[in-house]
Chains A and B, each alone.
Chain A
Amino acid sequence: MAQNSRSGMVENRGSSYWLTHVGLIIGILVIFFPIWVAFVASTVTQPEITSPPMPLWPGDRFFENYRDALVSGVNAPVARMLANSLVMALGIALGKIVISILSAFAISYFKFPGRRTFFWLIFLTLMLPVEVRIVPTYEVVAGFGMLNSYSGLIFPLIASATATFLFRQFFMTVPDELAEAARVDGARPMRFFWDILLPMSRTNIAALFVILFIYGWNQYLWPLLITTDPSMNTIVMGIKQMFPSGDDIADWPVIMATSILAMVPPVLVVIFMQKLFVRGLVDSEK
């Protein structure tokens, strides 16, 4: 009896251990399923999709479909849209980092008139996501003649209270002795910034870069508003533009190949820079 119950317990533990794995694997498979379907669709022919049910195992049209998408696309070559997205994502990430680290340096290491006011002005931008000020922001950008331009895609999204606060928070943990020593040595503030503060911020900058790159790459509403010229479309907003209006049948293999291409760069960034990504995610929500 005792023997039985003990072996029962071990068995129980073993099976619950496996059930845990099974539960997780099922979860992952369900989450993975939409991507799998999209990937399969990007490797088969149009008729295979339009006469349902479509296959659930990849076909042999991988190279043809991706070549079609990259070289000709529907409205614009997808290679062009990828390049636009890359410029936008890099521009937003680098731009935010540069202006934020400079202003955080100013706010943390100087006492100057109006410092508190500036601090609050930056803080208030947290309350103004682009989604709530789209029409007037569009008018400003149109007034500058920045529609269908990289600067129009980048600048309105570049001010970031989050990044500024993150750098400020980090600067607060930097020992005061370092600035003191620099001052005693007669080093100018910018010397201190370049030689000491910037190298120390390396990891923070990298973590923030990962998060901001994904943020920039995945923008949708803003590019949708200001890029009417297909050659300026970013890939994330360009996919929807590939659907025909009315009753025409969408070119599914090319659209799905484009969807896969649109998610590959940010997904690779997350997977290969996982440590920095997690750190950036946790930091930017502090």
Chain B
Amino acid sequence: MEKRVTFKGWWLPLLLITPQMIVTIVFFFYPAGQAVWQSLFIADPFGLKSQFVGLGNFEYLLGDPYYRASFITTAIFSSLVTIVSMGVALYLALLADRLIKGAGTYRTLLIWPYAVAPAVAGVLWLFMFNTRVGVVSWYLGVLGYDWNYVLNEGEAMGLVVVASAWGRISYNFLFFLAGLQAIPKSLIEAAAIDGAGFWTRFRTIVFPLLSPTTFFLLVVNVVYAFFETFGVIHTITSGGPQQATTILVYKVYSDGFVGQDLGSSSAQSVILLIMVGILTIIQFKYIERKVHY
């Protein structure tokens, strides 16, 4: 896409683009380049000198059971967060879409959790499920369930998944509701007159027409679960117990800043970089398709 009418001159546009370029180069490309560079070295424990090891860090990582476990943890975590947040949002959006009046009010009531930071959401859920004072864990205890996410790996995973999905429901709800409201009501009424029940209508009309929205949300939610849930993990479990909730982004942080293993942390950054790249391309491809649509 090009403007037909443009202004002349070359120094003014360069001047205008300079601030963004400076920030981009200093804080994006240089550090990313450094990450690639550092991933090829191993620093001695005192950080005095480093030794070139080529792809040694990557080889080590891919053979490291902890790193592979972190991959699996990330896959489980992001699938669950995506399924839970999209499932609840779709359910609520389907309900709100049935209303002739009042959908707007419910939208207002449902969108504000978007504004709650993942780290704050983490603290809220941590408090409810705290093993000593948590109100939900206490009532679970009354029911005879011995809740302890500090020791139980599955419970820890469940808690970070719910806390991460919670704030995300708003976002998905907003897009699902918009998608549902864009479906012509006449189609659904026609199917209803033909005797199609709710589930048949949902399966054969609503869901297929909603699929662009669903696909878009899938990608966006996976990106969210991969990168933006650090705050939830850090506040609730710090990756524990026994690394059961150490997702890839958390491992970059804990190996780099807590473990001070720069080579390994940089190699992990590079692997993440490649993954973001792939996700961005998928997203971009989708956007292209939507534009042609």
Residues of A within 8 A of B (CB): 17, 20-21, 23-24, 27-28, 31, 33-35, 37-38, 41, 49-50, 52-54, 56, 98-100, 102-103, 105-113, 115, 118, 121-122, 124-129, 131-141, 155-156, 158-159, 164, 171-172, 176, 179-180, 183, 189-190, 192, 214, 217-218, 220-221, 224-225, 236-237, 239-240, 249, 252, 255-256, 259, 262-263, 266-267, 269-271, 274, 277-278, 281-282, 285-286
Given A159-B23, A285-B216, A220 contacting B119 (CB threshold 8 A):
yes
B115 to chain A: closest residue by CB: A266
Pairwise interchain contact A131-B227, C-beta atoms closer than 8 A: yes
Pairwise interchain contact B118-A28, C-beta atoms closer than 8 A: no
Given A135-B265, A262-B120, A112 contacting B252 (CB threshold 8 A):
no
The smallest C-beta distance from B243 to any residue of chain A, in angstroms, reads 18
Given the complex of chains A and B, what is the CA–CA distance between A128 and B265 in angstroms?
15
5 more contacts with CB within 8 A, not counting A128-B29, A221-B231, are: A28-B109, A103-B20, A105-B16, A138-B257, A270-B114
Residues in B with CB closer than 8 Å to A156 are 27
Residues in A with CB closer than 8 Å to B231 are 220-221, 236
| Chain A CB within 8 A of B17 CB | yes
Given the complex of chains A and B, what is the CA–CA distance between A176 and B1 in angstroms?
13
Query: Which of B51-59, B133-141, B146-154 lies at the interface?
Result: B133-141
Given the complex of chains A and B, what is the CA–CA distance between A270 and B16 in angstroms?
32
Q: Per a CB cutoff under 8 Å, which of A122, A135, A217, A266 touches B24? A: A122
Q: Per a CB cutoff under 8 Å, which of A108, A262, A286 touches B117? A: A262
Residues in B with CB closer than 8 Å to A176 are 3-5
Pairwise interchain contact A56-B135, C-beta atoms closer than 8 A: yes
The smallest C-beta distance from B276 to any residue of chain A, in angstroms, reads 5
Question: How many contacts A-B (CB < 8 Å)?
Answer: 277
Pairwise interchain contact A50-B132, C-beta atoms closer than 8 A: yes
Pairwise interchain contact A278-B174, C-beta atoms closer than 8 A: yes
- B214-233 residues with Cβ-Cβ distance < 8 A to A are 216, 220, 227-228, 230-231
Pairwise interchain contact B234-A240, C-beta atoms closer than 8 A: yes
10 nearest A-B residue pairs (beta carbon): A218-B117, A136-B34, A136-B31, A266-B115, A220-B231, A110-B13, A106-B13, A106-B16, A34-B124, A132-B272
Q: Per a CB cutoff under 8 Å, which of A34, A135, A269 touches B266? A: A135
Pairwise interchain contact A127-B273, C-beta atoms closer than 8 A: yes
Given the complex of chains A and B, what is the CA–CA distance between A187 and B32 in angstroms?
41
- B130-171 residues with Cβ-Cβ distance < 8 A to A are 132-135, 138-139, 166, 169, 171
Main secondary structure of the interface of B (DSSP, over half): helix
Residues in A with CB closer than 8 Å to B276 are 127-129, 132
- With most chain B CB atoms within 10 A of its CB, the pick from A27, A135, A218, A221 is A135
Task: Say which size band chain B's interface belongs to.
Answer: 35 or more
The smallest C-beta distance from B23 to any residue of chain A, in angstroms, reads 4
Q: Give B79-119 as 1s and 0s: 1 = Cβ < 8 Å from A's Cβ atoms.
A: 00000000010011001101100100010111111111111
Given the complex of chains A and B, what is the CA–CA distance between A53 and B34 in angstroms?
51
- B17-51 residues with Cβ-Cβ distance < 8 A to A are 17, 19-21, 23-24, 26-32, 34-35, 38
Pairwise interchain contact A99-B9, C-beta atoms closer than 8 A: no
Pairwise interchain contact B118-A102, C-beta atoms closer than 8 A: no
Given the complex of chains A and B, what is the CA–CA distance between A131 and B250 in angstroms?
9
Given A133-B28, A285-B216, A239 contacting B23 (CB threshold 8 A):
no
Pairwise interchain contact A102-B16, C-beta atoms closer than 8 A: yes
Given the complex of chains A and B, what is the CA–CA distance between A214 and B116 in angstroms?
9
Residues in B with CB closer than 8 Å to A159 are 20, 23-24, 27-28
Pairwise interchain contact A135-B124, C-beta atoms closer than 8 A: no
Q: Per a CB cutoff under 8 Å, which of B19, B118, B125, B135 touches A220? A: B118
B89 to chain A: closest residue by CB: A27
Residues in A with CB closer than 8 Å to B20 are 99-100, 102-103, 122, 159, 164
| Chain A CB within 8 A of B277 CB | yes
Given the complex of chains A and B, what is the CA–CA distance between A214 and B276 in angstroms?
22
A121 to chain B: closest residue by CB: B24
Q: List 17 A-B contacts (CB under 8 A).
A: A34-B121, A38-B127, A49-B133, A103-B17, A108-B3, A118-B17, A133-B269, A134-B252, A134-B256, A138-B257, A140-B30, A236-B117, A237-B119, A255-B123, A256-B127, A270-B114, A274-B111
Given A31-B110, A259-B123, A286-B287, A137 contacting B227 (CB threshold 8 A):
no
